[in-house]
Homo-oligomer: A and B are copies of this chain.
Amino acid sequence: MSDVTTPQPAADAATSAEAALNARYGTHWNTALPAWNATLDTLLAHRSVRAYANRPLPAGTLETLVAAAQSAATSSNLQTWSVVAVENPARKARLSAFAANQSHVRETPLFLVWLADLSRLERVAARAGAPLEGVHYLETFLVSAIDTALAAQNAVVAAESLGLSTVYIGAIRNRPEEVAAELGLPPRVMPLFGLCVGYEDETKRAAVKPRLPQQVVLHREQYDAASQQQGIGGYDDVFAAFQTSQGLDDAGWVARSLGRWRSRESLHGRDRLRDALNALGFELR
């Protein structure tokens, strides 16, 4: 793998690109590539990291991540998201308890909670004495959630370009009202997901996880369901081999994925997300 912390262009770009792509798919890449660069190296080398070193972040890291996040596109420039930066150990511990007790939420030096935030425009409208009926629709929540995700992903790329690691924490949606209360959120602000940011514990280094082959996710002109089955079969083997190589249980991707959404109970409380959103003030008309 290339060293993602190095901002120089790869010394041997073709080799670094193919190595990164081979790791990303667990198969040999055999498609022509455009001129390669260090940003592509950073993107391809992503790993979700769940073990962090006890090491502070450089000055200005948070502000740089937020500047990257704010540089992402945002629908009609509405900027309907906010982020809470949590560094207080007691608060991280409480948030961890709300998120399936994941230890990395406690151990990360910086825990970012990304918020779909319709309340800011509401306050602006209230000061102006203006109506804001649009805020009550499902579309409006969806715009806010998408824009929050675009922003957060830019922050992830920025962090990884700086040699930091990250992992998203969707489990804060297990108990969204309690997370909202902990962070003092006003109505119509939804804690969408968390993000750990820190230096990886190099003694517990995570590997690049292989993904589905491109033929399964990329379609030309129209959606093609028929051609996906073969690719999924091959991937199931690639994924099981990857799991074994990491000392994890060797269930394939199909068995693991079906287990995740088998039943209402397998959603770990998130089957009540619609109720939770209503309680947080989102009508979702």
Give the copy number. 2
Q: Given the complex, which residues of B lie within 8 Å of A258, measured CB to CB?
A: 121, 124-125, 128, 130, 132
* B79 and A217 contact, CB distance less than 8 A: yes
Q: How distant is A233 from chain B, measured CB to nearest CB, in Å?
A: 10
A183 to B63, CA, bound (A): 41
Q: Given the complex, which residues of B lie within 8 Å of A128, measured CB to CB?
A: 254, 258
* A77 and B256 contact, CB distance less than 8 A: yes
* A79 and B212 contact, CB distance less than 8 A: yes
Q: Given the complex, which residues of B lie within 8 Å of A143, measured CB to CB?
A: 170
Q: Which 3 A-B pairs have the closest CB atoms?
A: A134-B261, A7-B37, A149-B149
Which residues of chain A have a CB within 8 Å of any CB of chain B?
7-9, 21, 24-25, 31-40, 42-46, 48, 58-64, 66-68, 70-79, 81-88, 91, 115, 119-121, 123-125, 127-128, 130-135, 137-140, 142-143, 145-146, 149-150, 152-154, 156-158, 161-162, 166-168, 170, 173, 183-186, 189, 192-193, 209, 211-212, 214, 216-223, 225, 228-229, 232, 239, 253-254, 256-258, 260-264, 266-267, 270-271, 273-274, 277, 284-285
